[in-house]
Structure 1
Amino acid sequence: MPTTAKRQLGDRGEALVAAWLRQQGWEIVAQQWHCRWGELDLVARHVDSNVGVVFVEVKTRRRPGLDQGGRLAITPQKQQKLWRSAQTFLTEYVAYSDLPCRFDVALVSQGKLATGLHHSPPGEAPLTLVEYIENAFQG
């Protein structure tokens, strides 16, 4: 199946956030992990912290829109799907099942903004990590 422009943009946003997390000392445990409930964009673990496992939902937008840069896309229904996906992940990867967990949201925008982490492969519009929301919602 051919990759759509929307999927390519989302993949680039996830790569930007994964790189940023690695810079912060996080290990990416899984990326684009699928189960029957949906997809977990990023699953990360920080060995030197008591945070445990973080499930990161990445929202990448071409331009600011009516959904506040992706913030409003994290509906209660989406949260439920992420929670179920995380439960399934923890059932499959029991080494992480006893660790504390949280759900974070990363908002990424196309275009170079005054603040934030930027990434721009040759010939492509830059992406900016606009906001990283820790503990964005409770599972």
Structure 2
Amino acid sequence: MSHPDIANLGEDFVSQWLQSTGWIILQRRFSCRWGEIDIIAQHSENILEPILAFVEVKTRSPGSWDNGGRGAITFKKQAKIEQTARMFLAKHPEKSDYACRFDVAIVSCQISSQNHRDLSVTQEAVATSLIGEYRFQLQEYIIAAFDSL
């Protein structure tokens, strides 16, 4: 499987996990001239103060050169995500008063011999999913990983 396919599967996995924890996925791969946001999700547990999460997903094989994707969230990348989030809010002014935050999902991917699509919680990872021949693990979900709008 190619790198973009693995990245898309990692985003699918995180979207599924977010939905299982009460989030509504508003948009996937929102893009504009400033950049792209992998997942935009809304949580309305407290209806008076809904939350928007702009989620950057980093899917890597174990032992990657950039610390599982953490090293790829540079200040320049953060600025692009923030500008893109501003464009999303400009297109959706009804959400402009929502509390906003920028989350990062660190996903590990490796080849597995099993072939099913169960989502389960494990001790060493937040969640695990087997998709085809690949095992995806949500290693870390970093809430408010960098300053919000």
- TM-score, length-normalised on structure 2? 0.85
2:41 aligned with 1:44, yes or no?
yes
Deviation, structure 1 residue 114: 5.9
Which deviates further from its counterpart, 99-108 or 60-69? 60-69
Match of 1:16 in 2: 13
Match of 2:74 in 1: 75
Matches of 1:5 and 1:47, distance apart in 2: 36
Deviation, structure 1 residue 95: 1.4
Q: Percent identity over the alignment?
A: 39
Aligned residue pairs: how many?
Answer: 135
Among 128, 132, 139, which residue is 2:141 paired with?
132
Matches of 1:114 and 1:54, distance apart in 2: 25
Match of 1:120 in 2: 130
Equivalent AA in structure 2 for residue 136 of structure 1:
A
Matches of 1:114 and 1:46, distance apart in 2: 25
Deviation, structure 1 residue 51: 5.1
Matches of 1:99 and 1:135, distance apart in 2: 14
| Structure 2 residue runs without a partner (length 5+) | 113-121
SS at 2:140 equivalent: strand
Equivalent AA in structure 1 for residue 92 of structure 2:
Y
- Structure 1 runs of 4+ off > 6 angstroms? none
2:30 aligned with 1:25, yes or no?
no
Deviations 1:7-43 (A, max 9, x none): 1011010011101100110000000111111111000
Match of 1:88 in 2: 87
Matches of 1:26 and 1:109, distance apart in 2: 22
| Structure 1 residue runs without a partner (length 5+) | none
Structure that is richer in strand per residue:
2
**Contact 1:64–1:109 under 8 Å retained in 2:** no
Deviation, structure 1 residue 109: 0.5
Matches of 2:21 and 2:94, distance apart in 1: 22
